[in-house]
Amino acid sequence: MTHHIVRRRFAGAAIGAVASLAMLAGMSGAMLVGTSSPALADQIVLRLSSPATPTDQRAVALTEVFAPAVADFASFEPHWNASLFRQGTELEAIARGNLEMSITSPQELATIFPEWSIFTAGYLHRDADHQVKVFESGIMDEMKERVEDELGVKLLTVMYLGRRQVNLRTEDRIETPDDLAGINLRMPGTDAWLFLGSALGANPTPLAFTEVYTALQTGAVDGQDNPLPTVRDSKFYEVTRQIVLTSHLVDLNYLAFSKRVWDELTEEQQGIVQAAADEAAELGRQRQLALEDELADYFEEQGLEVYEPDIEAFRTRVQEAYLASEFAADWPDGMLEQINAIE
């Protein structure tokens, strides 16, 4: 089988319509990264930057499944732990031609395209299956096209992160949002994330993912929210006392791919990349779901309290907050109903 080999173009980032986005103004300079190996000289280099750890199931699945699947024509070069780009700056890096892939979130997309905040709302997606169905249903097509056309980023597939839970170093039991009053809850640093923190009743404190362990250890924050597999993977359980199973956000990320690189691929290569992305996402999803099932016991063995609060109290408060929020004004007409109607 012969593959049409595509050489990477590094010169001058083609950012097209994105140049008009004020937030990108002032950014400059494409980064030159290549390989010195003559044998690999014609390989497309796919650098991915993410704050995820290399042992996060999405990272493991991409390394185990995505990398070998595209190896005939592309070399997958992940940079975990935000070692290449700071959390939240990856989309701009792709738009500028300085990065080829990231694992992005609707919260990050919403900083550029406000309509994406619909997918940041608490208690919206019901489960992993619902996320996939929504992503593939066609109702997001216009939103995805806008991201491609204006940012040069193609969202290949949806990756399951898990149900976010409130994980605290404090001891008082939490039953309702009122019990979170005054708790400094670390949230990732975008408006949509901070809104979620306040909708839960807490006092949200923005902080990059890579800083969370130390902040919990020193008491700079009282807690954080993430799915159980992340709490174990990043060892947050070592520096916290309880996990409140609020399941307030069935969290997802999208595998983001440079549209410029995509357009340079042959149709066959595009098919391979797409299938590899879907397969990696599926493997990561199944492993993440299995971990979510078993980890409550593990944390209890580690001495943490793990319990369900009054979920209805959280759901009601959070949903009401979103519906009354300024975010909701940017949601495409009828989309909430369409999402809810997907079985």
Q: Which residues bind ligand KDO (CB under 6 A)?
A: 50-52, 56, 103, 105, 161, 188, 209, 226, 230, 253
Tell me which residue of 251, 128, 242 sits closest to 187, measured CA to CA: 251
Alpha carbon distances (Å) from 189 to 1, 28, 195: 46, 23, 10
Closest C-alpha among 43, 175, 27, 38 to residue 92 = 27
CA atoms in the 13 A half-sphere facing the CB of 212: 32
Identity of the amino acid at 20: S
User: What is the chain's alpha carbon radius of gyration, rounded to the nearest angstrom?
Assistant: 20
By C-beta, is 98 or 224 nearer to ligand KDO? 224
Strands 242-258 and 101-104 turn out to be antiparallel
Work out how close the CB of 69 gets to ligand KDO at its nearest, in angstroms, rounded to a whole number. 21
CB of 161 to ligand KDO, least distance (A): 6
* Angstrom distance (rounded) from CA 245 to CA 164: 8
CB of 46 to ligand KDO, least distance (A): 17
Shortest distance, position 39 Cβ to ligand KDO, whole Å: 33
Comparing CB distances to ligand KDO, the nearer of 198 and 338 is 198
**Closest distance of CB 127 from ligand KDO, Å:** 17
Q: Taking the complex as a whole, how short is the minimal distance between the CB of residue 32 and ligand KDO, in angstroms?
A: 26
Beta-strand pair 242-258/153-168: antiparallel
For ligand KDO, the closer of residues 209 and 237 by Cβ is 209
Q: Residue 75 or residue 89: which is nearer to ligand KDO going by CB?
A: 89
Amino acid at 285: R
Region of 29 on the Ramachandran plot (φ > 0 left; ψ -120 to 50 alpha; else beta): left
- Residue 103 or residue 158: which is nearer to ligand KDO going by CB? 103
**Residue 292 structure tokens:** 């979510």
Question: Which residue lies nearer to ligand KDO by CB, 240 or 253?
Answer: 253
Instruction: Provide, rounded to whole angstroms, the least separation between the CB of residue 147 and ligand KDO.
Output: 16
Question: Is the Cβ of residue 62 or residue 132 nearer to ligand KDO in the bound state?
Answer: 62
Which residue number, 98 or 105, has a Cβ lying nearer to ligand KDO?
A: 105
* Spatial distance between the Cα atoms of 91 and 78, rounded to a whole number of angstroms: 15
Spatial separation of the C-alpha atoms in residues 87 and 210, rounded to whole Å: 8
> Minimal CA–CA distance to 118: which of 341, 317, 338?
338
Determine contact, residues 288/200, Cβ cutoff 8 Å: no
Q: Nearest to residue 163, comparing CAs of 131, 210, 195? A: 131
Least distance in Å: CB of 205 to ligand KDO? 12
